[in-house]
Structure 1
Amino acid sequence: MNLKNNVLKVLSGEKTDLTPVISVTQLGVVEAMEQTDAFWPEAHEDADKMATLGSSLYELVGLECARIPFCLTVEAEALGCEVDLGNEEKTPQIRSTPFKTASEIEVPANFLSNGRIPVVLEAIEKLKQKYGDTLPIIVGITGPFTLTGHLLGVENLVRYMKTKPDEIETAIDNSLDACMDYAEAISKVGPDIICVAEPTAAPELIDPLQFKSMVKPALEDLANFIKTKKVLHICGSTQPIIKDMATIGYDGISVEEKVDIKKAKEELEKGSNVMKVGGKSMPRGSSSISKIIGNISTTQTLFRGTEEEIKNEVKMVLDAGIDILAPSCGLAPRSPLKNIEAMINARNKFFDQ
C-alpha cells in the first residue's frame, strides 16, 4: 500500500481500505532522538537532523508520515522574537517580543531568509528526496491568531480582544501576511500536507463568538491561499466551534480527546449543509466535508497508558468513525516508542478482524 496515496485519498473524500495512522502535530520523542542521534535542540536548527527526527517514527515503528518542524516558534523568531530553543524534553518557547502594538507588526523583506525558515525548507527538500513518492510529508505552521499571541503576548491578545478589538484585527491581518508568505514558500518545496495550528483559539481561551468573528476570517483566507492539502488543528474542547471549523475550508480537522467524534462528524455534516443552502462553495482543493483527525490522548494514553488501554481507545475512535487516526495533540517528548507502535498495531488488528 502506498502510504502517501492512502492519506491523500482520505483527505480528498475517497474511500480507502485502511484508516491511515499519522501525526499532524509534533512527533519528536526522546527515544527516537537516542536511536537516530537527532536530538533537540540541534534538530531545530539542522536540516539533516530535522528531517531524520521528523521521519523517525516511520522508520522505527511504522507511523505513516514524516512531520516537521517540532514547535510553533519558527515564524515568530523570523519576525524578530527571541526564542529559547529548550532541550531534549522541552520544545522551543518565545522568550521576548519586540512588538508593543499591532501597527508595529510587519513582515520584513528578508522574512523568508530569517531564523530557522531556511532550515525547515531544506529539511522538506531532504524528506522529498527520500520519501516523496511513498510517504506523506506534513509541515506544520502557526495560525495567524496564535502568531499574533506570540508577537503581542497571549495575555495582551486576550485582553485587547475585549478592549481594543480593532487593533487586534489589524494585528491578525499583519500576522496573516507572514503566514501566507511562509505557506507559499513551503508549498513551492512541495510537501503533501500543511497543518495550520491554532492552539490559542481553543474555546478554553476565547469565546466561540470571538472565534467566529475574529479568528475564523483569517483562517478562511489562509485556507483559500494554501494550494496543498491542508489540516487545521485547534487544541482543547473544540466541540462548541466544530460547526464553524467545518465551514473554513480545510481538508482535515485535528481534534483532541475531549471531542466526541460521533457528535463532531454530525456537526461537520451540518456545517457542510449550511454552506450548500447558502450557495457557498468550499475553497479550492478541499473536499466537501472536512475529515476528522485524532484523537488518541497524548497526555494520558500515549504518554503513560498500557497496551490494553491504547488498544481500547483506538477501537473506540475507529468505531466512532474517525477518518484518520492520530495523536490528539503534540506528543510528549517522553512518550515511549512502544506506545506509538501499540497505536499502529491496534489499528492493524481492528482491520484484521
Structure 2
Amino acid sequence: MNLKENLENALSGEDVEVKPVISVTQAGIIEAMEQTNASWPEAHTNPEQMAILGSSLHELAGLECARIPFGLTVEAQSMGAEVNLGNNERTPEVTGTPFESADDIEAPDDFLENGRIPVVLEAIDILKEKYEDLPIIVGITGPFTLTGHLLGIENVVRYMKTDPDEIEIAMENCLDASMDYIESIQKHDADVICVNEPTASPELIDPLQFKSMIKPNLEDLADFIDVQKVLHICGSTQPIISDMSSVGFDGISIEEAVDIPKAKESIEDECVIVGNISTSKTLLSGTPEDVKEDVKKVLSEDIDIIAPSCGLAPKTPLANVKALVEARNEYFNI
C-alpha cells in the first residue's frame, strides 16, 4: 500500500480499501526518544533530530505518516516571543512577548530565517529525501491561537468582550505571517498542513464569536494553502462542526468529546473526519486492548481517518500507538 496515495485519497473523500492511521497533531513520545536517541529539547532545534523523532512512530509503531514539529510555538518565537523549550516531558511554551497591542504585531523582516522555522523546513527536506511514499504532515499555529501567544490569552479573552476590533487587527497581522510560513512549507513539498486552533475551542470561545471572528481568517488561510489541509480544534467542538467543515479544509480533526455520527450529520461541505482516539483516557492511560476497542468503535461509526484526538502525551506507551495500527489491521483483515 502506498501510504501517501492512501492518505491523499482518504482526505479527498474517496473510498479507500484501508483507512489510514496517522497523527495530525504532536507525535513525540519518550519511549521513541529513548529508542532513536532523538529527544526534546534538542529535537526542537536540530533538523536531523526533528526528522528522526517526527518519523519515529512510523518506524517503531507503523504510524502512516511523519509529523513535525512538536508544539505550537514556532511562529511566535520567530516573531520575537520568548519561548521555553521545555524538556523531554514538556513541549515548548511562550513565556514572554514584545507586543503590547494588536498594532504592534508584525513579523520581522527575517521572520522566515529566524527562530526554528529554518529547522522545520530543513527537517521536511530530510524526510522527503528519506521517504518516497510516506506523507509528511507539518503542523502550524492558527491565527487566533497565535494572537493569544503574542498578546497573552487573558488579554485576548478580555478583548473579545470589550474590544473585538483589537483582536481582528491582531489576527489579520498574524494571518500575514502564517501565509509567509505556509508558502515556505509548500516550497519544501510537505504533503499535508494541519492548522491547530486549540484556543478556538467552544470551551473558551462562544460559537457565535467563532463564526463571526475566527472563521473568516481560517477561510482565508484555507484558500491560501495549496496542499491538502486539516483543521484541528480541541475540546467538544460539536457546536461548531458545521462551521469547521465549511471553512475549506479537506479534513477536520476532532476529539473524543465529539460524537462521530452527529458530526457527520453536521458537516456542510465535502470534508472528512480525522480522529478521535482519546489521548488522555485511552492512549496515555489505557491498555493496548482499550485502544483496539476504541479504534474498532470509531471504524464502526465510519471514521474517515484514524488518529489521536489531540497531541500525544510524552509518556504515552509505544505499545498503545502500535495498537492503533494493529486494530485497524484486524478490522480490515490485513
Would you call these one fold, judging by a TM-score over 0.5?
yes
Correspondence list, 1:254-269, <5 A: 254-268=253-267
What corresponds to 1:84 in structure 2?
84
User: Given residue 297 of structure 2, which amino acid in structure 1 is its aligned partner?
Assistant: M
- 1:197-242 deviation per Cα after TM superposition (whole angstroms, max 9, x unaligned): 0000000000000000110000000000010000000000000000
What corresponds to 1:250 in structure 2?
249
- 1:51-100 deviation per Cα after TM superposition (whole angstroms, max 9, x unaligned): 00000000011000000000100000000000000000000000101111
Could you state the TM-score of these two structures normalised by the residue count of structure 2?
Answer: 0.99
What corresponds to 2:204 in structure 1?
205
Contact 2:245–2:251 (8 Å) recurs in 1: no
- 1:294-326 deviation per Cα after TM superposition (whole angstroms, max 9, x unaligned): 000001100011122111111111111100000
- 1:128-184 deviation per Cα after TM superposition (whole angstroms, max 9, x unaligned): 0011x3100000000000000000001110110110111110000000001101001
Structure 1 unaligned segments of length 5 or more: list them. Answer: 273-288
Classify the secondary structure of the residue corresponding to 2:230: strand
Classify the secondary structure of the residue corresponding to 1:194: strand
Contact 2:277–2:307 (8 Å) recurs in 1: yes
- 1:102-136 deviation per Cα after TM superposition (whole angstroms, max 9, x unaligned): 000012111000000000000000000011x3100
What corresponds to 1:239 in structure 2?
238
2-structure distance, mates of 1:312, 1:177: 43
Task: Say whether residues 1:103 and 2:103 are aligned partners.
Answer: yes
What corresponds to 1:306 in structure 2?
287
Task: Say whether residues 1:34 and 2:34 are aligned partners.
Answer: yes
What corresponds to 1:15 in structure 2?
15
State the Cα RMSD in Å.
0.8
1-structure distance, mates of 2:180, 2:240: 27
Structure 2 unaligned segments of length 5 or more: list them. Answer: none
2-structure distance, mates of 1:166, 1:102: 9
What corresponds to 2:128 in structure 1?
128
Classify the secondary structure of the residue corresponding to 1:13: coil
Aligned length: 334
Could you state the TM-score of these two structures normalised by the residue count of structure 1?
Answer: 0.94
2-structure distance, mates of 1:319, 1:155: 41
Task: Say whether residues 1:142 and 2:123 are aligned partners.
Answer: no
2-structure distance, mates of 1:163, 1:80: 26
What corresponds to 1:214 in structure 2?
213
What corresponds to 1:275 in structure 2?
none
User: Given residue 85 of structure 1, which amino acid in structure 2 is its aligned partner?
Assistant: L
Question: Percent of aligned pairs with the same residue?
Answer: 66
1-structure distance, mates of 2:31, 2:220: 39
User: Given residue 7 of structure 1, which amino acid in structure 2 is its aligned partner?
Assistant: L
Shift of 1:331: 0.2
